[in-house]
């Protein structure tokens, strides 16, 4: 029983990370209507930048915010120079571009920083939290930081006119222009925000899984699954989905199928849910009149 509890709580801890990344994906989908597969690699690359800064002597929180700024600009730049110039007629063309970006970032990170695993520091104290061994201070702190960031983002999209304009620009660029929204800027902003949030998630995850170029791949996949199971347009669903996926992963891996198959089986279970509720547990069915 104790072991099972350990798996569940451990699953909640990793689930918190998945929840954060999933929330970022949902947020950015709201702004850009795209699922950026390269998000994970961009986050990983930004985390390496943070590592380089810290190694050069910059104090942690200084490096943290500098990296967020770097990631924001990186996202802006990619949207402005790459995405804006592609004449797309189908989603698949965008998917290929994302795959291209993903592969480039991964490869360049490996080339510049090598594939040796690096240690990334945590800003939170070490040792046991309140005397228990299930949840470390960093894991709790990480969830806290990312949830704060994401609450800010949610409020931004929901309550500010700029946030509303970004959502509008993603859904209907033509009509957005007719109300005076500068659509190109909105998309660039969306990308910048996405990259910044990704960087935060990356910096929170790195102390746990150690920094290496392939760090984000598995996390991104689980985060996608979490976002979809929660409903791609439901922030709350994404969070719940993240925890669900984290626990599933741990429990399945420990008791049902072993570590090798746990990824596949978790995904299969998620598909099972989707078959029953195709727009996710909390997703709204978007009604469009024909």
CB of 85 to other proteins, least distance (A): 7
- Give the total of residues touching other proteins (CB under 8 A): 64
Q: Which of 183, 274, 199, 223 is nearest to 18 (CA)?
A: 223
Q: Which one of 14-22, 91-99, 192-200, 238-246 is the stretch in contact with other proteins (CB under 8 A)?
A: 91-99
Residue of the chain from 5, 73, 103, 152 that contacts other proteins (CB under 8 A): 103
Q: Is 155 an interacting residue with respect to other proteins (CB under 8 A)?
A: no
DSSP string, 149-218: HHHHHHHHHHHSHHHHHHHHHHH-HHHHHHTT--HHHHHHHHHHHHHHHHHHHHHHHHHHH-B-TTHHHH
Among 31, 42, 63, 101, binds other proteins (CB under 8 A): 101
Q: How far is CA 75 from the centre of its chain?
A: 14
Contact flag: residue 274 with other proteins (CB under 8 A): yes
In the complex, least distance from residue 114 CB atom to other proteins, rounded to whole angstroms:
11
What is the SS3 assignment for 116?
Answer: coil
Residue 63 CB, shortest distance to other proteins, in Å, is: 25
Site for other proteins contains 256 (CB under 8 A): no
- DSSP of 237-276, one letter per residue? HHHHHHHHHHHHHHHIIIIISHHHHHHHHHHHHHHHHHHH
What DSSP string describes 57-86? T--HHHHHHHHHHHHHHHHHHHIIIIITT-
User: Binding residue for other proteins (CB under 8 A) from 1, 3, 56, 92?
Assistant: 92
Q: Choose the stretch contacting other proteins; rule: CB under 8 A; options: 1-9, 51-59, 107-115, 142-150.
A: 107-115
- For tokens 């102390």, name the residue: 207
Give me 255's structure tokens: 């008791």
Q: Sign of the C-alpha dihedral, residues 130, 135, 138, 142?
A: negative
**Among residues 57, 61, 87, 131, which is the contact residue for other proteins, using CB under 8 A?**
87
Using CB under 8 A as the criterion, which residues of the chain lie in contact with other proteins when the complex forms? 35, 82, 85-93, 95-97, 99-104, 106-108, 110-111, 161, 164-165, 167-168, 171-172, 174-183, 221, 224-225, 228, 232, 260-261, 263-265, 267-268, 270-271, 274-275, 278, 286-290
């Amino acid at each position: 029983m104790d072991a099972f509890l350990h798996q569940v709580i451990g699953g909640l801890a990793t689930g918190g990370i998945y929840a954060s990344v999933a929330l970022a994906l949902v947020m950015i989908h709201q702004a850009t209507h795209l699922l950026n597969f390269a998000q994970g690699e961009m986050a990983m690359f930004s985390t390496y930048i943070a590592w380089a800064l810290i190694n050069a002597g910059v104090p942690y929180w200084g490096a943290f915010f500098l990296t967020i700024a770097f990631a924001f600009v990186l996202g802006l730049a990619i949207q402005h120079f790459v995405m804006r110039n592609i004449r797309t007629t189908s989603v698949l063309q965008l998917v290929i571009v994302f795959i291209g970006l993903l592969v480039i970032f991964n490869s360049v990170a490996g080339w510049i920083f090598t594939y040796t695993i690096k240690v990334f520091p945590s800003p939170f104290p070490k040792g046991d939290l309140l005397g228990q061994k299930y949840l470390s201070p960093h894991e709790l702190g990480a969830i806290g930081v990312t949830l704060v960031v994401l609450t800010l983002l949610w409020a931004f999209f929901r309550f500010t006119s700029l946030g509303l304009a970004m959502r509008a620009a993603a859904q209907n660029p033509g009509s957005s222009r007719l109300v005076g929204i500068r659509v190109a800027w909105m998309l660039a902003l969306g990308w910048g925000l996405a990259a910044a949030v990704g960087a935060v998630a990356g910096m929170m995850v790195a102390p746990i899984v150690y920094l290496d170029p392939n760090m984000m791949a598995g996390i991104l996949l689980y985060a996608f699954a979490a976002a979809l199971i929660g409903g791609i347009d439901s922030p709350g669903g994404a969070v719940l989905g993240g925890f669900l996926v984290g626990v599933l992963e741990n429990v399945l891996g420990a008791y049902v199928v072993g570590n090798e198959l746990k990824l596949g089986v978790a995904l299969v279970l998620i598909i099972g849910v989707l078959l029953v509720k195709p727009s996710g547990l909390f997703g709204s069915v978007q009604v469009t009149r024909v």
